Amino acid sequence: MARRWVSALLALLLCPMLRGQDAYDEWKGLYHRYQQNVTASTPAPRGYKPFYISHIGRHGSRYPVSPGYVGNGLVPLAKADSLGLLTAEGKRLLGGFLQLDSASRGVYGLITGLGGSEQQAIAMRMASRYSRVFTGKDRDSIACCSTHKQRAILSMTNFAAALASCAPRMHIGFVAGEKYYDVLCREDKAAPGLKGGSRKADKAMAGQFDFDSFYSRIFTDPVKARSCFRSDRLMVETCVTNGSVADYMGITDILRSLTPEEFRIASSIYNAKQFYQHCGSAEQGEWRMHIMDPLVLDFVEKADAAVAGNRIAADLRFSHDVGLMPFFSLIGLQGYDKRLTFDEVNDYWNSTYMMPMASNLQLVFYRGRKGDVLVKVLFNEGESSIPALGPGPFYPWSTLRAYLINTIQ
């Protein structure tokens, strides 16, 4: 019985996440639960064996990041309610925010049970697919590094615990702190340049979103209600972002306050704002991407040490969307390799698939019989590429290394 239960659990954890379950899923963006990128599995050339994995991942699905974030919707709606300005639909929306706040107290910013399961499943699939990496005689250690944020630390420990159960002979070491945030994320260095994205989003929302229709469902007097909140764009955006998080927590009233078309419009504008602020914006220039230069060096230096023959089987890093997006843009990962204007973003890039919760990059190193090294590129566990270097998913380490160094010159 116990053996059957374990087999069933493994089957659940090893299966890919399903995509596009309802009309809202396509544009949940950064707040979508993890989606595994399911692709074919190209075998390595004959004679090449995996020996090392270099990884970085976003934390798993989390609670709202802070009370203030939920407060962007809760506070103005509560004020409008006190003034008798909420319709029945508005009261349901307020009730959704109250539920979300209640469910998040004491755990704001931390990962949910779902987020822990996402990390465990990724680790178990890694161990299953690349068991040779974790059973070789020459390597007996795994190095885990996280930012100081608790959601990243908890993601790291969930990942490592699952990996340890599959690779019990491995010694797993942990480090975390602000020192590592300054390599793995560095969003604080970008803060002064992020306001432009909000201005772009304000303009786009004013031209594309039907506020009158939305407000007429929520407020008995939309004109008076506008005095309760700071901006039209923020009022709708908080329903998009908090509603997407609440949805995977089983709270649906926030998300469903928007029609599918309203959600698509608002979410696509938020999507474009995120790309403008954190990716390869044609208008912003490349300054945002180059904030992540130290992370490129970290990948190169640790891989060099592994190739040279240290005892590390895997370097595992745990960070945040605002660290991964500019890093992926800097290295030109497939899907992040275009330089797009704000108006072009939604034709090419959707964070629902490009940066859901627990997004990850895995570089799997293979050594050939003559000692040469190939690297397989995996994004969200599916085969990917660096288009500037050709189709992939395999590249000689010498070629990929030179390319990575060149990106920060």
* Pairing of the two strands 360-367 and 373-379: antiparallel
pTM exceeds 0.85 for this model: yes
Calculate the CA 84 to chain-centre distance.
39
Cβ neighbourhood burial of 371 (10 Å; 0-12, 13-18, 19+): exposed
* Confidence (pLDDT) at 285: 85
* Confidence (pLDDT) at 21: 53
* Confidence (pLDDT) at 207: 97
pLDDT by position in tens, the chain (length 409) = 333 333 334 433 443 334 445 779 999 999 999 999 988 899 999 999 999 999 999 999 999 999 999 999 999 999 999 999 999 999 999 999 999 999 999 999 999 999 999 999 999 999 999 999 999 889 999 999 999 999 999 999 999 999 999 999 999 999 999 999 999 999 999 987 788 999 999 999 999 999 999 999 999 999 999 999 989 999 999 999 999 999 999 999 999 999 999 999 999 999 999 999 999 999 988 999 999 999 999 999 999 999 999 999 999 999 999 999 999 999 999 999 999 999 999 999 999 999 999 999 999 999 999 999 999 999 999 999 999 999 999 999 999 999 999 999 8
